[in-house]
Amino acid sequence: MDWGMKNRLSKIIKPGNSRCVMLAVDHGYFLGPTERLENPRETIGPLLNYADSLMLTRGVLRTSVIPESNTPIVLRVSGGSSIIGEDLSKETIVTSIEEAIKLNASCLALSIFVGSKYEFQTLKNLSKLVNEGEKYGIPVLAVTAVGKEMARDSRYLGLACRIAAELGAHVVKTYHCPDFDNVVEGCPVPVIIAGGKKLAERDALQLTFDALKDGASGVDMGRNIWQSDNPVAMIKAVRAIVHENFTVKEAFDQYSGTSVMTEAIRKKSRNKTVSI
Ligand code: 5RP
Q: Which residues contact 67 (CB under 8 A, 6 or more apart)?
A: none
Q: What is the pLDDT of residue 258?
A: 79
Burial 170-194 (b: 16+ CB within 10 A, else e): bbbbbbbbeebebbbeebebbbbbb
Q: Provide the pLDDT confidence category of residue 226 given band limits of 50, 70 and 90.
A: very high
Average confidence (pLDDT) over 238-264: 89
DSSP 3-state assignment of 58? helix
The one-letter amino acid code at 226 reads W
Q: What is the pLDDT of residue 161?
A: 98
Q: What is the pLDDT of residue 1?
A: 82
CATH number at residue 7: 3.20.20.70
Over residues 82-97, the pLDDT tens digits come to 999 999 999 999 999 9
Q: Is 143 in the pocket of ligand 1 (CB under 6 A)?
A: yes
pLDDT at 272 over 50: no
For ligand 1, atom 4: residue with the closest CA: 24
DSSP of 90-117:
--EE-S-HHHHHHTT-SEEEEEE-TTST
pLDDT at 72 over 90: yes
Q: What is the pLDDT of residue 221?
A: 98
How far apart are the CA of 135 and the centre of ligand 1, in A? 27
Average confidence (pLDDT) over 87-113: 97
Cβ neighbours around 236 below 10 Å, total:
18
Q: Provide the pLDDT confidence category of residue 263 given band limits of 50, 70 and 90.
A: low
Over residues 144-201, the pLDDT tens digits come to 998 766 678 999 999 999 999 999 999 999 999 999 999 999 999 999 999 999 999 9
CA–CA dist 168, 141 (Å, integer): 10
Q: Is 55 in the pocket of ligand 1 (CB under 6 A)?
A: yes
pLDDT at 260 over 70: no
How far apart are the CA of 175 and the centre of ligand 1, in A? 10
Helix, strand, coil fractions of the chain, as percent rounded to 5: 50, 15, 35
pLDDT at 238 over 90: yes
Which residue range forms the structural domain that includes residue 252? 3-275
pTM of the model: 0.93
Domain count, the chain: 1
Pick from 21, 22, 26 the residue to mutate for probing ligand 1's pocket: most ligand atoms within 8 Å of its CB.
Answer: 26
pLDDT at 49 over 80: yes
Q: What percent of the chain has pLDDT over 70?
A: 92
Q: What is the pLDDT of residue 261?
A: 64
Q: What is the pLDDT of residue 274?
A: 34
The runs of H, that is alpha helices, within 137-247 are 154-166, 180-185, 201-213, 223-226, 231-244
- Higher-confidence residue: 270 or 144? 144
Question: In 3D, which of 89, 138, 85, 134 has the Cα closest to residue 111?
Answer: 89
Answer yes or no: are the C-beta atoms of 168 and 139 closer than 8 Å: no
Q: Would residue 173 show up in a list of annotated catalytic residues for this protein?
A: yes
Average confidence (pLDDT) over 266-274: 51
Q: What is the pLDDT of residue 275?
A: 31
Average confidence (pLDDT) over 4-33: 97
Average confidence (pLDDT) over 268-274: 49
